[in-house]
Structure 1
Amino acid sequence: MPNSPSSSAQAARQALADQLKEIRTEARLTAKELAAAAGWDRTKISHIEHGRRPPSALDIRTWCQVCGAEDQAEDLVASLHAAEGMWVEWRRMERGGLKQAQESVLPLFERTRVFRTYSSWLLPGLLQTEDYTRAVLRAVQQRRGLVDDVEAAVAVRMERQQILRRPGRTFAFLVEESVLRTGVGGPDVMLRQLDHLARVGSMPSVSFGIVPMRSDRVTRPVEDFWIHDAEEVSVELVSGYLTITHPREIAMYAQIFTALADAAVYGLRARRLIDAARRAVAAQR
């Protein structure tokens, strides 16, 4: 598993390593004895137990067999897969195409009731027009050399937006003011997107805030993230997609969301920023 920028993934790896070390200790085996019985180099044990090298599923099963703890093997393999799932490189997530990548998050969106999302790069997918989405996904497809299923992926994302109209859900969106002026698809696409943003931001289930560009702001922009209820955080980074489930880290993202929300403007003040962005974009035509 690649090194993750989040301590959640590292903590999960280390927890698994600690469990394996505990199994070896309870079996009264030295690292040298375990390595010899498994047919491994002795340094492999040290690397696994110190979290420097993730074990494979076969490594775990062999480890447990040698230590007489076969009954724990499958639970540990499940922990391994869970840790691996925390961090997914874009090339892995999108290797089946952009349509499949869009579909992969549908179950998460279906079960979430309270959405909190912050964006410093692009407008969140639930707020995008079809043309804006097409421009974003086309750029991704070309940059990463993916199979061209952009139209199918756009259709999936547009269908996902129906969740905004389903009862029993609330949405809090925060975007940096600079996102309103980020050129996606050209001036005409951006003008339609800004008009759409003003409409969707007035929906009863939606709270839409803009963090103004100010020289004296205290809370700095951070990476794009989604908080799904209080159970999971999804983070979009340059190199991959991070899933956070550790309560302490979820609380950290909730705290930064609150700070950004306090710095944001809403309603008429937000509309003024949208109108200013619209004038700036229109001037580029």
Structure 2
Amino acid sequence: MPSGSAASTTRTTGPRELATVSSPSSSVQQARQALADRLRELRLDAGLTKRELARACGWHESKSSRIEHARRPPSEDDIRAWCTACASEDQADDLIASLRAVNSMYVEWRRLHRSGLRRQQEARLPLYERTRHFRSYQAWLVPGLLHTRAYATAVMHSLRHRQSLPDDVDEAVNARMRRQQVLNEGDHRFAFVIEEAVLRNAVCDREALIGQLDHLMTCASLPSVSLGIIPAQTERTRWPVEGFWIFDDDQVNVELVSSYLTITQPREVHEYVQAFAELSAMAVYGAMARKLLTSAIEALR
């Protein structure tokens, strides 16, 4: 759930060394491969073979090959040794910064919530306060900033049960409700796009869902909020994807089954901005959106 941008497929096994963990995200692998390609270019520019580079770094040739093919992420010490061998010490700091960015992208849900749901809800508040332009697409759930207390409670209980987390659901919901104050404060702008299926998914009991849909109509009338709904029968130019949030043009947060991605690379952020624009173009707004909401409420009643 964000409510909530490529990512790392690594887990720390020591102060420097990293061990590979498979990732469900192509963004993760692309980011790792981009770093590997930069290292390969340094070696080629230096006129070194993999064997020569390995000898200079003091490791086996197969390690150089695994790093260049993004099958093994380098450590910071590996990058320093690589740059020294290639007489490109001036590149080391930038490459290490790229490595750290990659490693920050991927966070397992259990690790993300290891301190409980409340702490994670509170940790995101500064990001929401400093963001001016929010864009959110959701295929299955109502975006967190638009949750009612009952709907948020049902979502949090589901997450807690699935991950066997400590029971701090009430505190987490309170934190989410406090975060919603950004809807009415400052010069924030919000653009939400959801699939019509969101209106009918039985995330909570019937009365709670009716209350949530009523709340969506109220939120849609706020001057800072745009709510678009993609009708179920829409002829698609882009299929539903995982839910994501765009914070200004700086960061994207993506929620996967097993992980939470933070994407900050400009090229990838732009891809999500483009995807949001295409999804927005398929949505209906205003009276047409209210008609879909009213229809869903009447069906529930």
**TM-score, normalising length from structure 2?**
0.83
2:34 matched residue in structure 1: 15
Instruction: Find the aligned partners of 2:106 and 2:137 in 1 and give their Cα distance.
Output: 20
Q: Give the superposition deviation at 1:15.
A: 3.1
What do you get for the CA RMSD once the two structures are aligned?
Answer: 2.4
Instruction: Find the aligned partners of 2:111 and 2:135 in 1 and give their Cα distance.
Output: 26
Instruction: Find the aligned partners of 1:142 and 1:136 in 2 and give their Cα distance.
Output: 10
1:205 matched residue in structure 2: 224
Q: Give the superposition deviation at 1:213.
A: 1.4
Assess if the C-alpha contact under 8 Å between 2:234 and 2:282 holds in 1. no
Q: 1:111 to 1:262 in 2, by over 3 A?
A: same
Q: State yes or no: 1:177 paired with 2:196.
A: yes
Query: Where do 5+ consecutive residues of structure 2 fail to align?
Result: 1-8, 10-20
Q: Give the superposition deviation at 1:72.
A: 4.5
SS at match of 2:229: strand
Return the structure number with greater helix share.
1
Q: Give the superposition deviation at 1:181.
A: 1.0
- The aligned amino acid for 1:270 is A
1:273 matched residue in structure 2: 292
Assess if the C-alpha contact under 8 Å between 1:225 and 1:233 holds in 2. yes
- The aligned amino acid for 2:218 is R
Q: Give the superposition deviation at 1:38.
A: 4.0
Q: 1:113 to 1:198 in 2, by over 3 A?
A: same
Q: Give the superposition deviation at 1:228.
A: 1.7
Assess if the C-alpha contact under 8 Å between 2:237 and 2:278 holds in 1. no
Q: 1:41 to 1:217 in 2, by over 3 A?
A: closer
Q: Give the superposition deviation at 1:151.
A: 1.9
Q: When the two structures are aligned, how many residues end up with a matched partner? A: 282
1:134-173 matches, within 5 Å, as 134-173=153-192
SS at match of 1:235: strand
Which range moves more in the overlay, 221-230 or 114-123?
A: 221-230
Q: Give the superposition deviation at 1:98.
A: 1.6
1:26-83 deviation line (CA, Å, top 9, x unaligned):
6665432443454422201111022221112333344445556555444432221101
User: RCO higher in 1 or 2 (8 Å CA, sep ≥ 6)?
Assistant: 2
- The aligned amino acid for 2:285 is Y
**TM-score, normalising length from structure 1?**
0.87
Equivalent in 130, 139, 142 of residue 149 of structure 2? 130
Assess if the C-alpha contact under 8 Å between 1:60 and 1:77 holds in 2. yes
Assess if the C-alpha contact under 8 Å between 2:107 and 2:259 holds in 1. yes
Instruction: Find the aligned partners of 2:226 and 2:89 in 1 and give their Cα distance.
Output: 51
Assess if the C-alpha contact under 8 Å between 1:118 and 1:225 holds in 2. yes
Which range moves more in the overlay, 151-160 or 209-218?
A: 209-218
Assess if the C-alpha contact under 8 Å between 2:189 and 2:225 holds in 1. yes
Instruction: Find the aligned partners of 1:54 and 1:19 in 2 and give their Cα distance.
Output: 13
Instruction: Find the aligned partners of 1:44 and 1:219 in 2 and give their Cα distance.
Output: 40
Query: Where do 5+ consecutive residues of structure 1 fail to align?
Result: none
Instruction: Find the aligned partners of 1:71 and 1:218 in 2 and give their Cα distance.
Output: 45
SS at match of 1:148: coil
Instruction: Find the aligned partners of 2:239 and 2:53 in 1 and give their Cα distance.
Output: 50
1:78-136 deviation line (CA, Å, top 9, x unaligned):
22110112222222222222223223333322221111111111000000011111110
- The aligned amino acid for 1:241 is Y
2:280 matched residue in structure 1: 261
Q: 1:65 to 1:161 in 2, by over 3 A?
A: same
SS at match of 1:242: strand
